Structure 1
Amino acid sequence: MFSYSTRNVARLSLIDSHLRQELVGARKPQSHALSSGIFPVMVQFQPGTSCFNNGVNHLKSIVNNYAHCKMNQSLPRFSLQGGNLTATALEDLCANCGDVKKIYLDREFSVLLDTATETTRAIELQEEDATGEGVTVAVLDTGVHPSPDLMEPEERIIAFKDFIDDQEEPYDDNGHGTHCAGDVAGNGQQSDGEYAGPAPNANIVGVKVLDMMGAGSLSNIIAGVDWCMENQEAYDIQILSLSLGSPAMDPEDDDPLVQTVNQAWDAGMVVCAAAGNEGPSEETIASPGISQKIITVGALDEQGTPDRSDDDVAEFSSRGPTIDGHTKPDMLAPGVDIVSLRAPDAFLDQMSKDDQLDDTYIAMSGTSMATPICAGVCAQLLEKNPELEPDELKKQLREGAEDLGLEANIQEKDQ
């Protein structure tokens, strides 16, 4: 039985849909939520430094007044402050802090799993000597294993940031992020070039925002994007690849991760995000892929042949329209049985032994794979024309894509 306070808070307009459902018990509590009626939240304050500072101070006083509450991640760039709060503390905050704009559940995001280079025409660009040279792609995922395909003959993992265990050296205890990094920029060092990504000379920045099980909090993912923006110049980060998602329940202008990736886009970073793996149902595009600005990538099934005539959308690939009624995804990239790098002994490596090709490579499927392949093609285009702004690159990418004759909300018809 939920208390009056819990249900009362759930009715407040300042509470987002995810938090409202958890408050009233409409869904199973998130794995990272505490079992004692304490809710992990991200409080968004009104724009402006003074509003943020006043709001944080007010939240601190509430945390001090209520047992078991605490402050968490602070992200002033986005006017967000994390915390663990009881329903009563949430009610107090909503009623007495005029600087609060919205309160979001610090919800869980997860990896989106379920002959690629040739299909994307990356080989044609490689024949023009476009290999991603000098372009840096940040892969926000489960980490990255320092495979020879990323480290030889030159080290191309140029930075690593860990928001899970705060380790300094690159690692990947899940394996998903390593596969994605290889999808972008593996050079096929250990396969005589057979399993190379579109941008085999691009640099990789590994940003670990997901744990060993492939799950992570909204706050850590936003913190990962924030870190990339803070270090954009230091590492010349030009592209963000996000093969992760969470069900979209609120409009894009009321989704904090969408707001975050939009700011990164406006700061000059190309953002590629997975459409999701909830197909073939319509209206299943995941957050942050619902953003109109960024490049949302669905998965193409090449049917295991080089023949383009039998290519089709993967059954699992999420379809549009978005929750706001916008057409998505923006394009499809190969996402079925994609061969890329293993992270030896990582969680997925142990769980997917039948998919291992050898000691180095493993096959995986999902819009998770399509997204970094698209990011790799973006790296090739940026090498050819470093002055391209994100909107210009997206336009060029879409204009260069092949129209597969599919209906809207599977792949855009004007490509």
Structure 2
Amino acid sequence: MRHSLLTLCRPLPALLFAALPLTVTAADPDPIRIQQLQRCGDLLETHKQTFCLRVKGLQPGDRQVRLNGEALSAKQLSGKADQLQLQLDTKGKQSGPLVIEQGGQQSNPVWLSLGSSHVVAANADEVAKNMDGLTSYVDLISVVIEEDFEGATEARRLAEKYGAKVVGMIPPLNTYQLRLKAKNLDERDATVLRLGGEVSVDAVVIEESGAEKAIERDVQKAPPADNQEWASNRFLDAVNFYKRRLQRENGGLKTHPVRIGVIERDVDFDAPDFADYSGGDCRADRKRLCLYARDADKPSGHGTTVSGILAAAWDKGGNSGFLRGLDDVGPGFDVIVARDSDAGITANVAASVNLVEDGVRVLNWSWGIHRVGAVDIKGDPIDSLVRSGIAMSGYEELLEEFFLWLREEHPDVVVVNSAGNGSSFSGRDEYRLPSSFVTDQLFVVGGHQRSDKDVPVKDPQYAIKRKASNIDMRVDITAAACVHGSMAKADEEGDVHCGTSYATPLVAGLIAAMLSINPELEPDQLRMLLRRSAMTIGEEYDFEPTEGDDLTAPILPSERANELNNPDVGHSARLDMYKALDLTVQSVDRVR
């Protein structure tokens, strides 16, 4: 299918900006929209941080900036028109929503993280094509320092030795970004080779990311999306169950707030699906879902569609968010859409670290990459989202450090990752990252679509595997891959978007709802509940080696009360949102 790709701003310079004032009419002022917010200046400074903002809709005159509802001094904001800088002393402050107010208007709320993990993106003059024809950073690389070394000290030593400069960092992962003196890829590779031989260096990460390239794409023609797509996962049944079960006057369950992080660029707040998130204090209603994101120019972007599956208002402009549907009885979900800079996979990891430190319990990763030379299940080469072997090796080490850190410091956090759309194998590290990692904290989601069979929803043939979806034993569960996107006008039917990117937030949102009911659930218990509640899809494969039609790991007898002859055994697992919530409630009832 064709996607309308988002055009994103380049990283903002650390110097003060100069621009002509925006021309707006007093009678019909443009809404105030924060389109970009990211660290700039000295990224190694943690106590006095500088943030660069790109804002549209501001008029000349006074404006007020609020962080976590607290008004900041006017002296902390500088710049003119749409390019601003915010100077922030972090002492006594916490990460939280930031808004700009002027003339009775309020901007979209964006999440400002005071975490220390930030990396720099390359501009157009700092990239080149490598031998594989991939865009690669010329002078920006990251080094993962061995845990026995003090990362910051060792990074400075290496920088001095190689004539480089430390410009970014992910301290919890002992990872530091260096700007080399390299003028071309040959010079960079020579320095990378020497750095890789240092005793203190675990890995060197090079970026092969086009800053404005789509995170995920699905080239297969999309089928019509209607309520039968999400019906295959009992979406509405789940919403009804949550609201009905938790509204009972007697025996109702206490729910708990859950914070969800979505690694995406932005969301279109001018679309009817998201318009009511701007203005006022969202958290004044403790049951309401709050959405924090940078603003996009169009509603057709990847981030808007992914976020909409969680947070879009119902019956407004194309999409309907699962967690938004729980507002009446919900605990007050926070959905934070953030990516900071456009520095590729390294930036995804840096943003994820900050969000976890900011209290996120569920991370939605609707992205992934394939190694150059990877082939699909038919033996044909994959040509989307590919990276060279040297880049994949660095990414693999960085992601390994991330999951080791999660296990040691944040064992209750889960990451929900798309299996990918390459008709390939999701669980082989020579093919795909990050879905190939085996850890209780990583959930991998494949995609299915409605079949043409007139059968009950629980029948294995109600849905069929989507041809583009990656497969194999590493895929935990499959969910509906097609969704209507948001539209610019109310009451219009959105374009159809398909891919594992859109199956992933169905699972992420469900896990967040499960945790709101029972926050004591650990990652392995969440997986158990998802698999025990799952419906089936496809034929039975009797645990033979993975073939072209295997979509997920086969359902085991232990996932069906040890019934060896249960008809579900051997089939792939299809998400049942209703039954998963029902089992979650039962897990609480058993404890009470």
Same fold (TM over 0.5): yes
Greater Cα offset, 293-302 or 119-128: 119-128
Q: Does 1:99 align with 2:188?
A: no
SS in 2 for 1:247: strand
Contact 1:107 1:217 in 2 (8 A): yes
* Partner in structure 1 of residue 467 of structure 2: 315
Query: What RMSD over aligned residues (CA atoms) do the two structures have, in Å?
Result: 3.5
- Per the alignment, do residues 112 and 88 of structure 1 end up closer, same or farther by CA in structure 2, a change over 3 Å counting? closer
Contact 2:446 2:478 in 1 (8 A): yes
1:142-196 deviations in Å (ceiling 9; x for gaps): 2222344346488444434xxxxxxxx54466711110011123231416xx842
Output the CA distance in 2 between the equivalents of 1:389 and 1:282.
24
* Partner in structure 1 of residue 133 of structure 2: 28
Output the CA distance in 2 between the equivalents of 1:397 and 1:183.
19
* Partner in structure 2 of residue 297 of structure 1: 445
Output the CA distance in 2 between the equivalents of 1:366 and 1:383.
27
Deviation at 1:208, TM superposition (A): 2.9
Output the CA distance in 1 between the equivalents of 2:454 and 2:158.
58
- Per the alignment, do residues 258 and 368 of structure 1 end up closer, same or farther by CA in structure 2, a change over 3 Å counting? farther
Aligned length: 346
* Corresponding letter in the other structure for 1:125: A
Output the CA distance in 1 between the equivalents of 2:265 and 2:207.
18
* Corresponding letter in the other structure for 1:286: R
Deviation at 1:263, TM superposition (A): 3.5
* Partner in structure 1 of residue 191 of structure 2: 89
1:291-342 deviations in Å (ceiling 9; x for gaps): 222100111111478854341110000123xxxxxx2211111003x11324
Q: Does 1:286 align with 2:432?
A: yes
The TM-score normalised by the length of structure 1 is 0.72
SS in 2 for 1:102: strand
* Corresponding letter in the other structure for 1:149: D
1:214-363 to structure 2, matched below 5 A, reads 216-232=343-359, 237-248=360-371, 254-261=396-403, 263-264=405-406, 267=410, 268-279=412-423, 286-293=432-439, 294-303=442-451, 307=455, 308=457, 309-320=461-472, 327-336=473-482, 338-342=483-487, 344=488, 361-363=494-496
Contact 1:41 1:106 in 2 (8 A): yes
Deviation at 1:252, TM superposition (A): 11
Output the CA distance in 2 between the equivalents of 1:299 and 1:210.
29
Choose the corresponding residue for 1:188, options 300, 308, 314.
314
- Per the alignment, do residues 341 and 152 of structure 1 end up closer, same or farther by CA in structure 2, a change over 3 Å counting? same
Contact 1:41 1:83 in 2 (8 A): yes
* Corresponding letter in the other structure for 1:220: A
1:337-379 deviations in Å (ceiling 9; x for gaps): x11324x5xxxxxxxxxxx996573320111111111111112
* Partner in structure 2 of residue 119 of structure 1: 232
- Per the alignment, do residues 158 and 197 of structure 1 end up closer, same or farther by CA in structure 2, a change over 3 Å counting? closer
Output the CA distance in 1 between the equivalents of 2:477 and 2:310.
17
Aligned sequence identity (%): 18
Q: Does 1:203 align with 2:334?
A: yes
Q: Does 1:43 align with 2:143?
A: yes
The TM-score normalised by the length of structure 2 is 0.52
Structure 2 gap segments, 5+ residues each:
1-126, 181-187, 219-226, 247-254, 283-288, 328-332, 372-388, 556-572, 574-592
Q: Does 1:370 align with 2:503?
A: yes
Output the CA distance in 1 between the equivalents of 2:453 and 2:484.
14
* Corresponding letter in the other structure for 1:112: E
* Corresponding letter in the other structure for 1:263: W
Deviation at 1:404, TM superposition (A): 1.5
1:69-115 deviations in Å (ceiling 9; x for gaps): 543321111111122442343344344x3211111222338522312
Output the CA distance in 1 between the equivalents of 2:494 and 2:404.
34
- Per the alignment, do residues 371 and 23 of structure 1 end up closer, same or farther by CA in structure 2, a change over 3 Å counting? same
* Partner in structure 2 of residue 17 of structure 1: none
Give 1 or 2 for the bigger CA radius of gyration. 2
Deviation at 1:42, TM superposition (A): 1.9
SS in 2 for 1:149: coil
Output the CA distance in 1 between the equivalents of 2:297 and 2:453.
31
* Corresponding letter in the other structure for 2:444: T
Output the CA distance in 1 between the equivalents of 2:346 and 2:395.
17
* Partner in structure 2 of residue 400 of structure 1: 533
